[in-house]
Amino acid sequence: MNELTPVTAWLKKRTPEELAELIGTRPRLLEYGPVPRSLPELARLLTSDYAMAEVLREVDLPEYELLSAAARLVAADQDGTHRYEMRATRQVPVGQLLAAVGPAHRQAARHVLDRLLSRLLLLPSGADDVGLPGAVQTMLGRNQRRDPRTLDRALASSFNKDEVLRIAQVHGITAMTRLDAQKRLVALFGDPAWVRKLVGDGPPEARELLEKLISTDAVLSARCFDNYTGRYVFAPAGSSPPSVEWLALRGLLVPYAVAQAEVPLEVVEAFIGDRHDPFTPEPPLPPTRPVPQERARGEAQAAASAAVGALEQLLKALAAAPAMVRKSGGLAVRETRRLAKVIGAGEDETRLWIDLCSAAGLVGVETTKVGRKEFESRLLPTAAYDPWLAGSAADRLVPVLKAWLGLHDIVTWWPDNEETPVALPGAHDQAAPVLRHSLLRVLAVLPSGTGAVGELEPLVAATAWFRPLAMEYHAGPRVLATLREAELLGVAALGSLTPLGDALLADGDLDTAVRELLPAPQTRAHFQADLTAVVTGSPAPELATLLNSCADRESEGHAVVWRLGPSSIRRALDGGLDAATLVAELAAVAHGSLPQPLEYLIKDTARKHGAVRVVKSACCLRSDDEALVAELAGHRALKKLGLRRIAPTVLISAKPVAATLEALRSAGYAPALEAETGATVVERAAEHRAPKAAPIRRSRQAPAALDVARSLLSG
């Protein structure tokens, strides 16, 4: 019978919803592979090595421990060595598996067993057995508990008759046959009190060595036995330390392999009793401290608001001046430092914002040819940036939070043995999303009103309980970096989970959680006599757009500050506003009335604005002020334009429109651009956008798991 036949029969008994949930545990199954056309084909796909590896990363510690116990039960062959079947499914008696974790955990282990069966990490195989897939055995490796052989088995399989009789003689047993000596030795070693007395009366060095081997479940490297035609004989005296030879001559050490020895099972059990596989049904909680909910909420609110501000400044800087991408991949370090100065953050935090913008589709790489075989790549916003910028603070934060949760990288952690950290190095850390989810689970199970104390080892242990296979390397630094990223985004605060974290973890209504956490967008600003505009909290998109058009943003934080000046007012006038309209729009969003210095500044700038008119079609300059035209024609700083006066009120420039405008403004004038019709042309600062990125992953639209389940069950 095919080993997947019981699995297929089990699948037939599932409801469409149960089958769809099972398919959902292998999300890539429908995205990349062929759609299964039958239940036997689905059974094969669900139990394939690739699918098993994908779902195995999601097991918690008790699930991992029960799978490890199952692997141990099938690992030992008849010679006592430990080999793993790489292909075949091995049968494990359910009673034996539950007994392996001890009677105290039998009921909890039963529930864990059912969870493993529901995801086919253990395969249904009759009423009394379950199947352990060969792929799971292989992926668990050799980390399971090792069962030593019994003395009876070791004497029968490892020694010749002379060696068995020699051990018996040391213990005062006189026997003529091998079988008689072996039976009497097994009976003697079956008395734990006798074994403990034997060891206790021996040399202290031998006793310490034996206790260490038992406590560490280790195999000893020693040459106390020589291998001879498949059997072992005692090596000559002096081949090993005296303590090792003393143990070996008394049967307290038996051969394990060439130049290796182990402690027999009876001796192990004499010192530690019946051994059970480790099983931890409840997560260990890290130490906690009281955390007032309002304080945690305030910290999260401030962090989320600051994150939105940093992201906006970063994207705006990239729109104005795209960043160069290295030929070897990743952002040039000097570019990261430049952007870090713009947003006022450290380099590691800046790398986080850059990578999250990339993961959320807000930035992309544009590659252009600059030579025969040379190409240049730049990082700049995509078309998605414009609608993102027009949204509220909540609308901007939500896609970034979702991108962080699934990002295959812990951006703010960088291995010490690697080169200088770079942004966008390529996300290849498959364990990062699993670790992130596990850490959030730890914070979620803490008692209400508490937060985790910053003690690393307990926090790592608690995180590992939820996803042990995500903690294989650099566990401590990776956990701390993940927690810091969560705090920067407002997902965690003061060691506790925030409403944003709750929504992310439960796949809930993240939009509502963000809107409730962030303060309502501010629609008004405080205009002050020092020509600054201050918005306490997050400005509404319309308010930010208006202030950005006529003022320069100076600082972020709990309050956003803009400064108005002649150049920023001129920018608004260049954009098509007149003085009266600009004053009216600013007055409409002001708390109280506008300060008189601000109104004077706008009117004075507007009075000078447009005094010089640049004709776009022929790059002419015209002005009703003949004296001003004469002044321009003779201005030393404008000689590079090659200005020539063709009429009392008209000049011709030898340079293009853009160069002429730039030169006039550098010389302190305020020209306005005019179209062929005489109408003023609205000028906008040039911004760059990356081309729409091609789809990276799915080559086809993955069908819905429920539709596939219904089709298979109906067929």
- Segment 401-438, tens digit of pLDDT: 999 999 999 999 987 766 778 888 876 788 899 999 99
| Residue ending a domain, choose from 590, 608, 626 | 608
pLDDT of residue 517: 92
Shared domain check, 547 and 448: no
Categorize the per-residue pLDDT at 112 as very low, low, confident or very high, splitting at 50, 70 and 90: very high
H helix intervals, 522-595: 541-550, 566-574, 579-588
Categorize the per-residue pLDDT at 682 as very low, low, confident or very high, splitting at 50, 70 and 90: low
Tell me whether residue 118 is in a domain. Answer: yes
The closest of 440, 441, 464, 455 to 289, measured between CA atoms, is 455
H helix intervals, 201-332: 204-216, 242-249, 265-272, 293-320
- The number of folded domains in the chain is 5
What's the DSSP call for residue 447? P
> How far is Cα 614 from Cα 664, in angstroms, rounded to an integer?
10
Tell me whether residue 637 is in a domain. Answer: yes
pLDDT digits (tens, 9 = 90+) for 180-231: 999 999 999 999 999 999 999 999 999 999 988 887 778 898 889 988 767 8
Least confident of 23-32, 262-271, 614-623: 614-623
The closest of 608, 647, 609 to 630, measured between CA atoms, is 647
Residue pair 456/280 in contact by the 8 Å Cβ criterion:
no
Q: Which contiguous run of DSSP H or E holds residue 592?
A: none
Tell me whether residue 658 is in a domain. Answer: yes
| Structural domain boundaries enclosing 112 | 5-140
Helix (H, G, I), strand (E, B) or coil at 409: coil
> How far is Cα 311 from Cα 400, in angstroms, rounded to an integer?
9
Shared domain check, 510 and 390: yes
Shared domain check, 460 and 397: yes
Furthest-apart CA atoms within the chain: distance in Å: 135
Tell me whether residue 698 is in a domain. Answer: no
> How far is Cα 710 from Cα 714, in angstroms, rounded to an integer?
6
pLDDT of residue 40: 92
> How far is Cα 651 from Cα 629, in angstroms, rounded to an integer?
7
Residue pair 124/10 in contact by the 8 Å Cβ criterion:
yes
Least confident of 96-110, 132-146, 288-302, 365-379: 132-146
The pLDDT of 342-367, averaged and rounded, is 93
| Cα 488 → chain centroid | 14
Tokens representing 157?
């399989």
Tell me whether residue 157 is in a domain. Answer: yes
Shared domain check, 361 and 489: yes
Shared domain check, 497 and 591: no
Helix (H, G, I), strand (E, B) or coil at 140: helix
High-pLDDT (> 70) share of the chain, %: 92
Shared domain check, 129 and 234: no
User: Cβ–Cβ contacts within 10 Å for residue 475, how many?
Assistant: 19
Residue 114 Cα distances to 66, 94, 104, 360, 367, angstroms: 11, 11, 18, 38, 52
> How far is Cα 413 from Cα 478, in angstroms, rounded to an integer?
6
In the sheet where 260-262 sits, what is the strand order? 220-221, 260-262, 254-257
Shared domain check, 604 and 618: no
> How far is Cα 36 from Cα 629, in angstroms, rounded to an integer?
80
The pLDDT of 332-355, averaged and rounded, is 93
> How far is Cα 481 from Cα 415, in angstroms, rounded to an integer?
12
CATH number at residue 652: 3.30.70
In this model, does residue 364 exceed pLDDT 60? yes
Shared domain check, 367 and 484: yes
Categorize the per-residue pLDDT at 83 as very low, low, confident or very high, splitting at 50, 70 and 90: very low
Of residues 698 and 577, the one with the higher pLDDT is 577
Shared domain check, 13 and 126: yes
> How far is Cα 675 from Cα 613, in angstroms, rounded to an integer?
10
Amino acid at 112: V
Tell me whether residue 217 is in a domain. Answer: yes
The pLDDT of 632-658, averaged and rounded, is 90
- Paired sense of beta strands 559-563 and 620-622, if any: unpaired
Residue 379 Cα distances to 348, 355, 470, 657, 689, angstroms: 18, 11, 31, 29, 9
The pLDDT of 520-535, averaged and rounded, is 92
Tell me whether residue 702 is in a domain. Answer: no
Tokens representing 427?
């996300």
User: Cβ–Cβ contacts within 10 Å for residue 623, how many?
Assistant: 21
In this model, does residue 674 exceed pLDDT 50? yes
| Residue ending a domain, choose from 557, 583, 608 | 608
In this model, does residue 698 exceed pLDDT 50? no
Shared domain check, 452 and 312: yes
- Beta carbons within 8 Å of 605's beta carbon, 6+ residues apart: 566, 569, 570, 573, 579, 670
Shared domain check, 383 and 494: yes
Tell me whether residue 647 is in a domain. Answer: yes
pLDDT of residue 81: 40
Tokens representing 330?
């990743």
pLDDT of residue 376: 87
User: Cβ–Cβ contacts within 10 Å for residue 492, how many?
Assistant: 27
pLDDT digits (tens, 9 = 90+) for 151-173: 998 899 899 899 999 999 999 99
151-155: which pairs have CB atoms within 8 A and are 24 or more residues apart? 151/185, 151/186, 151/189, 151/251, 151/254, 151/264, 151/265, 151/266, 151/267, 152/182, 152/186, 153/80, 154/80, 154/254, 154/255, 154/264, 155/182, 155/185, 155/186, 155/251, 155/254
Shared domain check, 161 and 46: no
